[in-house]
Amino acid sequence: MINEIKLGQCPETNFALLEAFALNSAMSLFKTCALESVYDSFHPALKENPSLNKMNTAISMAFHLSEAILDGVFNQPTPHYAMHYNRVNSLLDDVALKITAIIQNGGFEAMPIPASQIIDKSSQKGYLNHKIVARAAGVGFIGRNNLLVTRQFGARVRLVTVLTSAPLKLCAPVEGGCGGCYECVSACPAGAIGETAEAFELAKCVEQISKFQRLMFVAKGICGVCLRACSKKELNTKIKED
């Protein structure tokens, strides 16, 4: 099927073809933004890649995590959620690779950015911040939990990014905020979440995740408590209040 998808010079047609493929490959949301709008957030190691100069668009894709699995996360991550988290990251990377193949088959440049890869341990940063790209592309807004929050699924998503030179229709950011919802603030076991996204205390979050890694059979640095707290139900409430 990948070889049957032919991209051309029409941004709208290319977008429709890639979006259809992504959604048929289990992605929940597919959006785009101008690369220059998020370039300043890229890690210096990514900016050193000369191929980046040929690209002008960032593709953001989101996968809706299992509601049932997250409903089982209370004060700490579970082995069930840990396995789900790892498998979803693999799926996101797999779809990003296939999107890359389609774009390259069309004669354009494409660079997939891993869904979950830390290249700077001290700052807990990857090559780019997927949620910043997702926000610029209109996937959602940054909530006070410092996560990407979507209107459809709350924060219960995982993200991946593909950078490309392919002509693609661009999406617009969406307006949104947490309003009067403070579910994540009271749920956070680290007390890391404040009034705004800017007040989020990363050091507290990282310390709590490290504790979970030492105490539990969870290989990846995860928590999931604030994701459970930020569901579509709470999101519907805060949209009414904004």
Higher pLDDT residue, 16 or 231? Answer: 16
Q: Is 155 a member of any domain?
A: yes
Rounded Cα gap, residues 163 and 104, in angstroms: 12
| pLDDT tier, 165 (very low <50, low <70, confident <90, very high otherwise) | very high
Answer yes or no: is pLDDT of 154 > 90.
yes
Average pLDDT, the chain: 91
Q: Which are the contacts of 45, defined by CB distance < 8 A and separation ≥ 6?
A: 119, 127
Answer yes or no: is pLDDT of 97 > 60.
yes
Percent of the chain, pLDDT > 70?
92
pLDDT in tens, 104-132: 999 999 999 999 998 887 667 899 999 99
What's the total number of domains in the chain? 1
Compute the average pLDDT of residues 35-41: 97
Percent of the chain, pLDDT > 90?
77
Q: Is 19 a member of any domain?
A: yes
What per-residue confidence (pLDDT) applies to 232? Answer: 63
Q: Is 112 a member of any domain?
A: yes
Q: Which are the contacts of 205, defined by CB distance < 8 A and separation ≥ 6?
A: 146, 188, 190, 192, 223
What per-residue confidence (pLDDT) applies to 172? Answer: 96
| Residue-number span of the structural domain to which 28 is assigned | 2-72+79-177
Q: Is 200 a member of any domain?
A: no
Q: Is 158 a member of any domain?
A: yes
Compute the average pLDDT of residues 33-42: 97
What per-residue confidence (pLDDT) applies to 118? Answer: 85
Q: Dig out the tokens for 172 from the structure.
A: 């617009």
Answer yes or no: is pLDDT of 241 > 50.
no
Can you list the positions of beta strands (E) in 65-201? 110-113, 141-142, 148-149, 157-164
Read off the amino acid at residue 109. Answer: E
Are 192 and 226 in contact by the 8 Å Cβ rule? The answer is no
What per-residue confidence (pLDDT) applies to 212? Answer: 86
Rounded Cα gap, residues 124 and 206, in angstroms: 8
Compute the average pLDDT of residues 44-71: 96
What per-residue confidence (pLDDT) applies to 226? Answer: 93
Q: Is 213 a member of any domain?
A: no
Rounded Cα gap, residues 169 and 199, in angstroms: 34
Q: What is the CATH number of the domain that holds 45?
A: 3.40.109
Rounded Cα gap, residues 143 and 242, in angstroms: 13
Q: Is 59 a member of any domain?
A: yes
What per-residue confidence (pLDDT) applies to 51? Answer: 96
Q: Is 120 a member of any domain?
A: yes
Answer yes or no: is pLDDT of 16 > 50.
yes
